């Protein structure tokens, strides 16, 4: 599937499309983690949340397919004087070694074709420490707005929690977010899921 945001990152090397401030989800989830927690940020883009997690004292791996986005992330990390491990690869090639206390994605997993999601989450489940958390925001099909030519397999209602079946769901909320990245004010419907891996 085509992801136009990689082109946008390359087109705007000096501008942070999403800004430098962390997302609301990152700020909320950070309060649930202990110092030194290991965080995997999937589809981290320009790195605003990865850098924020690192500033909170966590060991962070930021993963994205766009080298231009990661270059911005490196620059932001240097500016904030924090260390992040940056990986330029697909989510399907997430690191196979070690375990994470938080597996996190903010607006990225829906870019992965539906046929690949079960495979991805099988791997992510194994990469999560017992008692560790998953926090995800995905676009849903309740309200579809395509921008910049993107192609998305929108999540259907109930699809995301099934991928973490057997885990403790701490929050599962439908919401709407405002956006104007294409110059037109519009709204996306999203699902926000927070779940914990059982400890045994």
pLDDT tens profile 23-76: 999 999 999 999 999 999 999 999 999 999 999 999 999 999 999 999 999 999
Distance between CA atoms of residues 86 and 20, nearest Å: 17
Q: How many CB atoms lie within 10 A of CB 80?
A: 14
Band the pLDDT of 8: cuts 50, 70, 90: confident
Per-residue model confidence (pLDDT) at position 1: 44
- Which pTM does this prediction carry? 0.90
% of the chain surpassing 70 pLDDT: 88
Q: Is 137 exposed, middle or buried (0-12, 13-18, 19+ CB in 10 A)?
A: buried
Task: Decide if pLDDT at 161 tops 80.
Answer: yes
Comparison of pLDDT for 9 and 85, the residue scoring more = 85
Mean pLDDT of the region 138-147? 73
The overall average pLDDT reported for the chain is 89
Per-residue model confidence (pLDDT) at position 199: 92
Report pLDDT digits (tens) over 68-89.
Answer: 999 999 999 999 999 999 999 9
Q: Which residues contact 169 (CB under 8 A, 6 or more apart)?
A: 161, 193, 194, 195
Q: What DSSP state is assigned to residue 155?
A: B
Superfamily in which the 4-12+34-196 domain is placed by CATH: Vaccinia Virus protein VP39 (3.40.50.150)
Mean pLDDT of the region 97-106? 92
Per-residue model confidence (pLDDT) at position 81: 98
Task: Decide if pLDDT at 96 tops 70.
Answer: no
């Amino acid at each position: 599937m085509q992801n136009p945001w990689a082109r946008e990152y390359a087109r705007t090397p000096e501008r942070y499309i999403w800004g430098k401030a962390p997302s609301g989800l990152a700020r909320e989830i950070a309060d649930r983690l202990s110092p030194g927690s290991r965080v995997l940020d999937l589809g981290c883009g320009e790195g605003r949340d990865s850098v924020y997690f690192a500033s909170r004292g966590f060991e962070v791996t930021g993963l994205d397919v766009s080298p231009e986005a990661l270059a911005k992330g490196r620059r932001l990390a240097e500016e904030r004087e924090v260390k992040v491990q940056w990986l330029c690869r697909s989510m399907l090639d997430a690191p196979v070694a070690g375990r994470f206390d938080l597996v996190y994605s903010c607006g990225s997993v829906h870019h992965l074709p539906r046929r690949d999601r079960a495979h991805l989450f099988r791997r992510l489940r194994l990469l999560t420490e017992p008692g560790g958390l998953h926090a995800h925001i995905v676009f849903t099909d309740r309200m579809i707005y395509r921008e910049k030519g993107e192609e998305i397999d929108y999540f259907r209602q109930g699809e995301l929690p099934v991928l973490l079946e057997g885990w403790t769901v701490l929050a599962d909320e439908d919401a709407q977010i405002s956006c104007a990245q294409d110059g037109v004010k519009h709204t996306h419907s999203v699902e926000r899921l927070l779940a914990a891996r059982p400890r045994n």
